[in-house]
Structure 1
Amino acid sequence: MNYRKRMIMMSLVDTFLVCAAVFAGMQLVNGQPGSAVGTTLLLLAGYHAFAFYYRLSKKAWSYASTGEMMALIKTITLAAALTTTVHWLFGDTAAIRLTIVSWLLLLLFMGTLRFSERLIRDVELVKSKRKKRTLIVGAGSAGTLVVRQLLRDRHTNLVPAAFVDDDQRKNGLQLLGIPIVGRIDDIEQVAKAHHINHIVIAIPSLGKKELDRIYAICQRTDIKTQILPRIEQLILDKGPLPKLEDIRPEELLAREPVTLNTDDIAESVTGKVVLVTGAGGSIGSEICRQLCQFKPSLLLLLGHGENSIYTIEMELREKVGSDFDLIPVIADVQDRDRIFQVVNQYRPSVIYHAAAHKHVPLMEVNPHEAVKNNVIGTKNVAEAAAEFEVENFVMVSSDKAVKPTSVMGATKRVAEMIVQHMDRISRTNFVAVRFGNVLGSRGSVIPLFKSQIERGGPVTITHPDMERYFMTIPEASRLVIQAGALAKGGEIFVLDMGEPVKIVDLAKNLIQLSGYTLDEIGIRYTGMRPGEKLYEELLNANEIHEEQIYPKIYIGKSTAQDMRWVEYLLVQFALLEGSALSALLLDIAHHRMKNQPNLIAAIQ
């Protein structure tokens, strides 16, 4: 029914109710027909005028609440007051009594009619939904969060019935009126005793082994079991409660994900030979997983760690079957001859270069290894790509390459200089992709915080004001793949990562979502380590393009680099002490050499 027809019908029904109220009132007070006619006409005129003013016809009565009720009471009361005033001016006391009774009856009639829509809707909603008695596994902060949200949301078909938790101190207590009735090992008995027909695992900090154990117990009940998203999602999510997930391996993102332009990617990848260096690492392995959907003719998994390469190879073979070929390649990017031999043998069309040392404090005390892997390794792979005319070369870089203060950041900046230089002198499109910290990757703060919490604390943080940009592994990997499709040569692609997050806030949320209080675990500040910055940047001021080249992806301007400094670094790095090498790296990364005549003379 459209709005016009609905308004006409409601007006007719309201008119009938006014007439009915006056007629019923006349029977109650033994009123005269003349008074009834005048009262009816005055009430009708007043009611429709005030109903128009308060927009009663536009109210959604099936969702009516206090606001709608007050508008209806005001409309009827003002109409009755207007009618009473007119009768008083004419001295008709009998009509005044009739008006008062009619006012009360009209409130009853119209209130019943209007709010019956809401009542019928609520009853139908309850009937249409089978309320599932839900067992919450974990009576910590996350479990309390789940129960609070379920109690607030009247549209959900889940109703919390009980908790189970292994903390014996909580057994027998109630949280938000919901009893804690046993341990996790008691789930099967608790489910029977409390008529449970849904289970939610609300311990987002669980390791895989413990999650498998709990899920195995739940499976014995034949009851549907869901789980909160991973802890990385919860600590960055701004909503009251993330959507419950069925237990499955898919990764959840902490922000609106970068969507892929599948046509562009398919054109650059499908049916082609693709090489991924560092394929056994956090980012490299996820790049391989993402590439599978685009069906390259051959995917080369290159890495120097046989265990990690074997693991990703077995995972991908199980996932893709015989759709395309996978070849594991055990090689070190520092071995120039081996890298040239591999690229020459397989002639890839695209290389995703994810092999690197990335741990900031470790690289501070091992600068020579950082140079060998991040600089020489990149140079080897890049020069092999140029020699054998690879179409696209995509290097995984870091926000720490911007105004670097660490050896790791400086080596990444020098690697970017190499890539941009190679783009100018070869037919290959060379690009770099820059992003911040990756949640869940090796070296991320989350695994460290988890282990510290499991040991009883304290959680260690270097500085209370330290903040970082964060993203998830799939998001980072998608950006790398998209950059390969967008590459024209020489660009530095940057993901719009939103606002940076304070590390101390991550720690506090992680402690609370693990079922502990800040007093129980504690936070200890250890002081900033060598090479660390309080905050990171994604682009230098002279690199910034104002527009996004793709949704959530910015592009940095290509800047000319003097490769003589890089060549000088490669000649000197084996001769220099650790601190001297670190200083030279930072000078080159910051282009400070022009102020040092002795260095200028050395490269000329």
Structure 2
Amino acid sequence: MGSVRGPHDASPSVPVSLLGRLARTRPALVLPLQDTVLLTAALVLSLLFRYDGAVPSDAWAGLLSFVPLAIAVFVGVNAAAGVYGHLWRYASVVEARRVLVAGGAATLIMVAIDLVPRFVPLTVALVSGLVATMFVGLARFQTRLVSFRRRSEQAEADTGMRVLVIGAGRTGAELIRQMQTHGHTGLLPVAVLDNDARTWGRLLSGVRVLGGLSELPRLLAELDVHQIVLADPETPTAVVERIAGLADDSGVVLRVLPGGDELVRSGLRLQDVRDLRIDDLLGREPVGTDLVRIASMLQGRRVLVTGAGGSIGSEICRQVARCAPERLVLLDHDETHLHDALATLPPTAVPELVDIRDAERLNRAFARHRPDVVFHAAAHKHVPMLETAPSEAVMTNVVGTGNVVAAAAAVDVPSLVLISTDKAVRPSSVMGASKSVAEDLVLTSARNSGRAWCGVRFGNVLGSRGSVIPTFSRQIQAGGPVTVTDARMTRYFMTIPEAVQLVLQAAAMSRGGELFMLEMGQPVSIIDLAHRMIRLSGRRPGTDVEIRISGTRPGEKLHEELSIPEEGARPTEHPSVLRLDPVLPSDRALAARVDLLRRLADAEDGAGVRAALLERNEAAEVAPQPNFVVPMGPLSPDSPVEPAAAGMAPLGPLHGQAFDDHRGTSPLITAAQSAGELTTMNGNRA
């Protein structure tokens, strides 16, 4: 590093301005003088070699005439090429290429000058130019080598951060080079390990490959290693866990490179090497997406994202922004989350502080922006919370989705994507059942209108607000206990960026009416996840941090599903995206169900909402309230009722057992029953 000195640091007998001029002119004087000496030496050696040491007197005379011309050419070309304008202690391949190009050009000019008259043999002109170029390169890079050695010694003396690199590929070599170049980081690579036996004993950027991973326990002790850097982002999870365990046992920090997609975006930088995270241990393979196809769907289009301040919505906005949309509209009812999402986006992003439950204001927002693509991510999602507030689940997840569907249909949005959840499959919770209705609303409208609207269903995402990962992290930081509801519980997991990549991929593949399911891999044991996270924090499960079984909460399942057999999961052109054939209700049944749910929610009849949401077996229909229109879009040609003619929207199904359990306690259901308006699908009174 260069020193920074003020005027008071200079000798009082020498003017500061003179010191500055000398500092600036030193390379301009010393380096050309150095090149003059090197070229002269090269000419003399070449001449001696040409005549086997017995140089005739006329050849010496010719050389004396040629030297001034050669020096003028060599130094002049180097100056024109910018060879004298570099800090050689930080020289790289760029500077080496510059020296070679300048030296080659100078050599050709020297040969051309020597053609007529012939000062020295042409071979002397040619060889001396090449030798002088080699001398100059060695001289310049000697400065860099000395500087590097000093920085390395200083780094070891200052911090002693001795690093063992795992991975002898190109990535490992680049990391070592950056550690060596940036001595101020205090990282000193001392050894490399790789399971490829062909690399053993070789030098990687000057650091020797000492064997395979089996040597790790021994080398951690013998080399006094303080940090391990895993230089291969695609290392299998089992291997990462083994390395993490050895590092933990030895009190060594394990750091890793970011995932493949992140590396592609930012390039390999030393500052991107990060601590190990729990998602590095969940066995997810890097996702490949058709970026060209996704960009063609979004570039130059008007894109609107509901729930844009949430975990999924904000990541959708970030990834969409990279595809250069004409306009990106962030719609959310939470000003803080909306503000935070905007902070990560270009200034062209447009905020809309709107609640999807407010149909009038939502319609105005859609009319203002007239989006080409809508990602509907707004939803209430926390299962236990919604068990205590079922009416709120309906108003946002059902009525709010209906409002989005109606607003999108009103401005003829060509493409709409619903973000759904595995909890919508055979739902046992209010949240899951409300999202199942949301799926029906979007996909039924797509079926009737022919628009390219679809739904995308996936499991848990890592790190979303209020999810298990941040909860466990908070409990571990507090010293425990870590609470697991049931030792048998499993969940599917995916990182937020990965989920959003696949959502965009599914949207690009949609032709309308599809329900896509993301391939989530194998379910993860929640208690095993707790063990891993505790170990990752450097503590021991059960000893340093207690794991407590708290019992399942209302609405929770032990194991989630991503589809039911009737939906017939089929592959698509992307291996991580499956297509389902959704089992949809009739327009009449769906509209009836939405209407009943809204009336129950408006009445704050939580028990009635829960019963109406979680109905499963035989179906019933409730007569409609007059003049209430559910925002469903056009009915299909075979619909049994025309809303315009009837003056009302058809109402939908209640399934038997949940309905039977609740009909005596809900005023709305009891009133419908007493009036004879409530009938089963076969026409019998309920």
Q: TM-score under structure 1 normalisation?
A: 0.60
Are residue 492 (structure 1) and residue 476 (structure 2) matched?
no
8 Å contact kept, 1:201–1:226: no
Residue 362 (structure 2) pairs with residue 339 (structure 1) = yes
Aligned to 1:52: none
1:526 matches 2:587:
no
Aligned to 2:279: 233
Asked whether the equivalents of residues 502 and 576 of structure 2 are also in contact (C-alpha less than 8 Å), the reply is no
**Is residue 2:476 matched to residue 1:448?**
no
CA distance in 1 between counterparts of 2:349 and 2:514 reads 29
Matches within 5 A, 1:429-468: 429-468=452-491
**Match for 1:578: what amino acid?**
G
1:270-289 equivalent positions in 2, closer than 5 A = 270-289=299-318
The CA distance in 2 between the partners of 1:433 and 1:423, in whole Å, is 14
Partner of residue 566, structure 2: 542
One-letter code of the match for 2:285? Answer: R
CA distance in 2: counterparts of 1:502 and 1:370, whole angstroms: 28
Q: CA shift at 1:580, angstroms?
A: 2.8
| AA matched with 1:271 | G
Other structure's SS at 1:315 match: coil
1:555 aligns with 2:579: yes
Once the two structures are superposed, what CA deviation does each residue of 1:189-236 show, in whole Å capped at 9, x if it has no partner?
Answer: xxxxxxxxxxx95379xxxxxxxxxxxxxxxxxx96664455133331
**Partner of residue 352, structure 2:** 329
Partner of 2:612: 584
> Any gaps of 5 or more consecutive residues in structure 2?
1-148, 165-188, 210-218, 228-251, 257-268, 620-652, 664-668, 680-686
Tell me the matched-pair count.
397
Deviations 1:383-426 (A, max 9, x none): 11111100011010000000110111011001111112211333
Q: 2:254 aligns with which of 202, 208, 225?
A: 202
Q: Is the 8 A contact 2:295 2:323 kept in 1?
A: yes
Q: Secondary structure at the match of 1:302?
A: strand
CA contact (8 A) 1:414 1:589 kept: no
1:255 corresponds in structure 2 to 285
Structure 2 CA distance for partners of 1:307 and 1:156, relative to 1, 3 Å: farther
1:424 aligns with 2:476: no
Q: Output the CA distance in 2 between the equivalents of 1:478 and 1:404.
A: 26
Determine which of 355, 359, 372 is the counterpart of 2:378: 355
**Offset from partner CA, 1:505-555 (integer Å, 9 cap, x none):** 111111111100111112110011010001101011101233335221001
SS at match of 1:587: coil
3-state secondary structure, aligned to 1:338: helix
Equivalent residues of 2:383, 2:431 under 8 A apart: yes
Distance change >3 Å, CA 590–CA 576, structure 1 → 2? farther
Q: Deviations over 1:8-57 (max 9, x none)?
A: xxxxxxxxxxxxxxxxxxxxxxxxxxxxxxxxxxxxxxxxxxxxxxxxxx
CA contact (8 A) 1:432 1:492 kept: yes
Q: Distance in 1 between matches of 2:190 and 2:486?
A: 34
Aligned position for 2:428 = 405
Equivalents in 2 of 1:443, 1:331: separation in Å? Answer: 23
Give the direction of change, closer, same or farther, for the CA distance of 1:557–1:452 in structure 2 (3 Å limit). Answer: same
Q: Within 1, Cα distance between the matches of 2:610 and 2:224?
A: 59
CA contact (8 A) 1:469 1:501 kept: yes
Q: Report the CA distance between 1:490 and its aligned residue.
A: 1.6
CA distance in 1, matches of 2:278, 2:430: 28
> 1:292 aligns to what?
321
Q: Which has the higher contact order (CA 8 A, sep 6+)?
A: 1
- CA drift of 1:181 comes to 8.7
**Cα distance 1:352–1:262, how it changes in 2: closer, same or farther (>3 A)?**
same
Output the amino acid matched with 1:524. R
Q: Which amino acid aligns with 1:256?
A: P
Following superposition, the deviation at residue 309 of structure 1 comes to: 1.4
Q: TM-score, normalised by structure 2?
A: 0.53
Aligned counterparts of 1:509 and 1:409: Cα–Cα separation in 2 = 28
- Report the CA distance shift for 1:260/1:443 in structure 2 as closer, same or farther (over 3 A): same
SS of the equivalent of 1:471 reads strand
Give me the whole-angstrom Cα distance separating, in 2, the residues matched to 1:570 and 1:540: 27
Pick closer, same or farther for the CA change 1:151–1:423 going to 2, 3 Å.
closer
Range that drifts further, 305-314 or 352-361: 305-314
Query: Structure 2: how far apart are the matches of 1:328 and 1:482?
Result: 25
1: CA distance, partners of 2:253 / 2:596? 57
Partner of 1:370: 393
Cα separation, 1, equivalents of 2:191 and 2:521 = 27
The aligned residue for residue 295 of structure 2 is 266
Corresponding residue number in structure 1 for 2:179: none
Contact 2:452 2:512 in 1 (8 A): yes
- Aligned-residue Cα RMSD (Å) equals 3.4
Superposed, 1:18-29 pairs within 5 Å as none
1:318-365: per-residue Cα shift (whole Å, max 9, x none)?
xxx6xxx32111111111001100111111011000011111111111
What's the CA shift for 1:150?
Answer: 5.8
Q: 1:224 to 1:484 in 2, by over 3 A?
A: closer
Q: Helix, strand or coil for the counterpart of 1:593?
A: strand
* 1:589 Cα deviation from its structure 2 partner: 9.9
